[in-house]
A and B are shown apart, each in its own frame.
Chain A
Amino acid sequence: MRVISSNYPGTTVSFTEGTMPFEDGQARIIDVPGTYSLEEPSSKAEDIAVKMLDEGDVIVNVVDATHLERNLLLTLELLERGKRVIVALNLWDEARHHGIEIDPRKLEKLLGVPVVPTVAVTGEGVRELVDKLAAAAPSPFPAYPPEERWTEIGRIAGAVQTLHPRRHTFLEWLGDLSVRPLTGLPLAAAVMSIAFVGVRFIGEGMTNYVMEPIFQKLWRPLIEQLSALLGGAGFIHYILVGNLINGAVDFRQSFGLLTTGLYVEFDMVLPYVVAFYLMLGILEDFGYLPRLAVLLDRIMHHLGLHGWAIVPNLLGLGCNVPAIMATRVLESRRERLIAATLVSVAVPCASLQAMIWALVGDPTHHGGARYVLIVYGVLFLSWVTIGKLLTTILPGTSPELLMEIPPYKRPHWPTIFRMLWLRVAGFLKEAIPIVLGGIFVINILYSIGFFDKVAAAAAPIMQRVLGLPREAIVAVVIGFLRKDIAMGILGTMGLTIKQLVVASTILAMFFPCVATFVVLAKELGWRDMIVSTTLMIVAAVTAGAALNWVM
C-alpha cells in the first residue's frame, strides 16, 4: 500500500493517506489526527479530525487495549453519531503483558459493532480487520448525556475486562525514579552524557572507518584522474573539482561539487546525523522524553515554556526544521514564538555541530575539545538569556504541563531503525540538492567578484568589532544557504583558533539557514518572524563581540 503525507487544506495539520485494493475496487485510507473525544476539541488537530470523520464511509476506531476506559469515550461518541464503525483493539500484546484480559466477543455484543484484536506493530489481526470492514454498520447504540457516558463506559469495561494483578516491574520502578528530581536529575545527566558520547563515538566511527576510506581510497583516484583530464584548470574544473591546493585535491578546501560538496555532506555530516537520530530514536522509543519533560518543567517555566518544550530543543540538535515544526504542539502563540526563536538562535543542528567539531576541535590546527566547549557554552548561555529575556518582555503567561507519561518499554529495534531510515533519507533528499546547488551558485558568485564587494561593505564590523578578516562575511552570507558549507568556507581561510571560535558562534546564532527560515516564517507568521530574526542578528553580533573581547 502506498502511503503519502499531506496537509488538510488550508491548515498546517498533516495527515497520511494511502490506497489499497478492496472488494472490487480501491479503498482510500486516511489516518485521522489522534483525538480522545469529538467534543470540546482542544486543538486545531482535533478540530480537523472531527471534520474528517464526517467524510469517511467506514471508521476504524483504534482503541488502546491497555487503556480501555479512556479510549471508549471516543467509541461511544462515534456510535452515538450513527457512524459505521469497526473497532481495532490494538496493543493487544501489551495488554496481555500488563495482565489485562479483554473479551472481544462480549465487547462486540455490547457495542453492536465488529471488534478485532490487533497488534499493529507486527501486523497481527490486520487481515481480519480488513476482512471485517464490510461488516461495519451503524450500531443501534443509545445516546447518553455526557455525565452518564462515563458510568456506561465503566459498566462496559467492567463487563469485558479482567485485571490480573502484577508485581511492580523493574521498568516501572525505574520510571518512578526518573521523574523525581532527587534521582531523576542525576539520571538525566547520565542519560544525556551517554547520548552525547554515543553520538560522538558512532559519528566519528562512521567517519573514520567507513567514509574516510571510501573517499580516500575509492573517490580520490577518480577525482584526480578527472582533474588531470581537465588539465587542472578551467571553468569546468573549477565547478566540479574546485581549486587545487598546493597542486593537489584537498577535499576540505577545494570547494568543487564533486570534492567538497560530497565530502562535507557524506564524510563529515552524514555520520553525525545518523548517530544523532539513532540515539534520539532509542530515547524516544524507550519512553524517556516525557519524563525528561517533567523533570525540566520547572526550569523551562523560567524561560516561559513548559517541560514538553524540551523536545523541539532536542530535535533542533539534529535539524532545526523538524524542531520548529514540533513547536506546533505547544498550546500558546507566546510559547511557540519563544521555543522557535530559541531553537533557531541557540540550538546548532547536527550538520553544524559536525563541522564545529571538525574545524574548531581539530588539534592539527591548534584547536581542541576545549574550544568546542566554549562555543557550546556560549550557545547555551544565549539560550538561557534569550529565553529569560523573551519571557520577561512578552505579555501573557504560558500554559501548564498536562501530559500522559507512557510506561517505559523495551526498545523495539525494527521501529527504531525504520524511524532512523526515514529521518536519514529525509535529510539526504533535502540536503544534497541544496548543497550541490549552493556550491555551484557560490562558485559562480565568487568568480564574478560578488563577495569582494560584500566583504568590503562589512569590513568595519568584521574587523573592528569581531576581529575577523573581512572575507569572513562570505561565510556568514553563505550561512543563509547552509551552515555546514559556510563552516567549510571558514575552514579555507586560515583563521586562528580564536577567530574560528568567534566565527563559529556567530554563524550558529545568526540568521537561520534557508530551510529553517522558510519553516520559521510558516510557523510564526510574518510579525513574530521579524521579532525573532532581529533578535537573532543582535544576539549573534553581541555574542561574537563579547567573545572577541574576552578571549
Chain B
Amino acid sequence: MNPKENSVRVPLTQLAVGKSARVAEILDGHGLHGRLRKMGVREGETLKMIHRPLRKGPAVISISRVQIAIGFGMASRILVEPTGH
C-alpha cells in the first residue's frame, strides 16, 4: 500500500460518488462534533459517498448502513481519507 495515499485528506464535499473513505477529522464549529457523532459520523468510521453536493447543496453519505444528508457547510468541515474501494 502506498503510504502517501493513506494520508491524503480531502473535505467530504470532494469525495467522488461511489467511493469509500474513512473519517479523519472533523473541524469543529457550533458543536458540530457532537451533532455528527450522534448521527454516527465519527473519526475512524468508514463511509461511502452516495451523492456529491452540486454547488452548495447537501452531501448524502452511507455510514453504518444508514444514509445521512449533510449540509454543504458541515460537509466541507469533515476531512476524510479515501480508502480506494
Contacts and interface: CB of A to CB of B under 8 A. Distances in A.
A and B from one complex: yes
Nearest to B63: A70
Interface in A376-402: 399-402
Contact of A404 (B30, B56, B57, B68): B68
A298 B66 contact: no
B69 A307 contact: yes
Contacts, number: 84
Contacts of B54: 181, 298
Contacts of A232: none
Given A69-B64, A98-B65, A176 B51 contact: yes
A401 B66 CA distance: 16
Interface residues of B, number: 28
A73 B38 CA distance: 9
Contacts of B39: 36, 402, 404
A407 B60 CA distance: 13
Looking at A180, A181, A400, A403, which has the most chain B CB atoms within 10 Å of its CB? A400
B74 A402 contact: yes
A294 B58 contact: yes
Contact of B73 (A69, A307, A400): A400
B72 A400 contact: yes
Given A401-B71, A404-B67, A404-B68, A150 B38 contact: no
Contact of A401 (B30, B36, B55, B58): B58
Contacts of B34: 40, 42
B71 A297 contact: yes
Given A36-B38, A400-B72, A402-B36, A175 B67 contact: yes
A37 B60 CA distance: 23
B50 interface: yes
Contact of B50 (A37, A69, A179, A404): A179
B35 interface: yes
Contacts of A400: 58, 70-74
B50 A67 contact: no
Interface of B: 30-31, 34-36, 38-40, 42, 50-51, 54-58, 60, 64-74
Given A70-B64, A405-B67, 16 more contacts: A36-B39, A40-B34, A66-B65, A67-B64, A179-B51, A180-B51, A181-B54, A297-B57, A298-B57, A307-B69, A399-B30, A400-B70, A401-B70, A402-B74, A404-B68, A406-B67
